Amino acid sequence: MFDVAIVGGGPAGSSCAAFCAKAGLRTLLLERENFPREKVCGDCLNPGCWPVLHRLALAERVRALPHGVLNRVEFIGINGRTLAVELPATEDAEIALKRNLFDQLLLARARELGATVCEATTVTALSPPGNAKENWMITAGDKTFESRTLVAADGRNSTVARLCGLLPRSEKERIALQTHLPLPEGFGDRIVLQFLPDGYSGQAPVGGGELNLCLVSVPRKMAALRNWAEARFGISPDHAWRTITPLTRAPISAGHDSLFLVGDAARVVEPFTGEGIYYALASGELAAAAIVSQSGGRSADEVSAAYSAAHEKLYRGRLWINRLARAAVLSPHIGSAILGMARFQPALLRFLTSKIVG
C-alpha cells in the first residue's frame, strides 16, 4: 500500500518521486526499463533546471558528470549565414550532458530519499478507485500494487493515459533521429541550430569527447537530411540512429481525481526549444506539492484544480515559442527568414534565445 505510485522514471517521474519521498510519503516508482538507458533527447539542460536540482541537493552531482558548458548558440540559415548569441557565463549556465547519466542520477536520488523503485516493470492494467475510500490497483505482469494516488510520468505515448482513455491521437507530420558521435575537432562550447533545405539539425557537445546530433524533418525528406549528416560528420550509412514519435501531441488536462500527469505525459513541447527537461522537473515538483497537500487534508477536487492551474501557469507565456519553433522546423525557410530579420534586429534573436534558455 502506497500513498503515491508514479509510472515512469524519467526526469518528471524521478523528481516527483524524490519530492514525495522527501516529504515522507510512501512512494512507489515503476519504470519499464533498466537504468541506465539511452533516451532520444537534445541533451541540453537549461538554466531554469538548476533551482529544482538545488532543492533536490543534486546540482553539484550533476556538475560532476561529464558535460559540456555551453557559452553561445549559433543559428545557421539555409544559405549558410551564421548568427551567434552569447549565453550567460554563470555557475548555473546552460550545459549539455547525456540523458542516460542524468536520468540515472535522478532515479538514484529518488531511491536515496526513500522511494521504492521497481525497474523492468511494465504497467499492463489499471483499476481506478470507485469512491473516495478506494485506491488505484496497478497491475504490472504478475504483480499488483495499491496506491491512493497515481502519477503518469511515462512520456508522450503514456500507457497510463491510454489505459485511462485520455491519450489523444498523435500527429506524425515529422520524425526525429538522434545519435552521439565523436566531437569534431574545434567544435567549441556551443549549441548549433542549423536550418537546411530538408529540415533541421541540432548539435551540442555533451562532454567526454562526444557530440549530440539531432535531425528533424518530414518523412519524405528525412533520407536527404540523413545523407547531409553522413557527409557533414563522416557517418557510415549503416550507423545506428535512435528515433522517437510523435514529436507533437495535443495536451491532456494535467489534474484529475487522484491522478496527475507530468512531463510529456501531460504536454509535449518542441525538441527544438530544449525545454523538455525543464518542464519535466518543474511539473514533477508541482505534482509532488499537490499530492503532499492532499495528504494533509485538502479535498481531491480542490487539489486537482489547483494543480491543473499551476501546470497551465508553468507553460503560459512560453507556448508561442513552441509554436514558432514548430513552424520553423516544418518550413526551414521560415527559420532562415527569421534569421535574416535578426541580422538587422539582433535584439530579436537575443530575446528569442532568452526565452528558450532562460
Work out the number of other CB atoms within 10 angstroms of the CB of residue 331. 13
| 182, amino acid identity | P
Residue 355 pLDDT > 80 = no
Where, residue-wise, is CATH 3.50.50.60 in the chain? 2-43+98-170+249-316
Q: Are 201 and 229 in contact (CB under 8 A)?
A: yes
The three-class DSSP label of residue 330 is helix
- In CATH, the number for domain 2-43+98-170+249-316 is 3.50.50.60
pLDDT band at 40 (very low <50, low <70, confident <90, very high): confident
The three-class DSSP label of residue 332 is helix
Q: Give me the half-sphere count of Cα atoms (radius 13 Å) on the Cβ side of residue 38.
A: 10
Q: What is the pLDDT of residues 164-184, one digit of tens each?
A: 999 988 777 788 899 999 999
Residue 314 pLDDT > 80 = yes
Q: Are 213 and 182 in contact (CB under 8 A)?
A: no
Distance of CA 43 to the CA centre of its chain: 9
Residue 55 pLDDT > 90 = yes
Closest by CA to 102, choosing from 7, 26, 36, 30, is 36
Q: What is the pLDDT of residues 198-248, one digit of tens each?
A: 988 999 999 999 999 999 888 899 999 999 999 999 999 999 999 987 777
> Would you list the DSSP string of 99-116?
HHHHHHHHHHHHHHTT-E
Residue 84 pLDDT > 80 = yes
Residue 328 pLDDT > 80 = no
Q: Are 233 and 214 in contact (CB under 8 A)?
A: no
Residue 12 pLDDT > 90 = yes
Residue 326 pLDDT > 90 = no
Q: Which three cell numbers stand for residue 230?
A: 553522413
Q: What is the pLDDT of residues 247-291, one digit of tens each?
A: 778 889 999 989 999 999 998 876 655 678 999 999 999 999 999
Q: What is the DSSP letter of 272?
A: G
Whole-model pTM: value is 0.89
Kind plus residue range of the DSSP H or E element containing 346: helix 346-357
Closest by CA to 152, choosing from 33, 18, 280, 274, is 280
Residue keyed to cell 528569442: 352
Rg (CA), the chain: 21
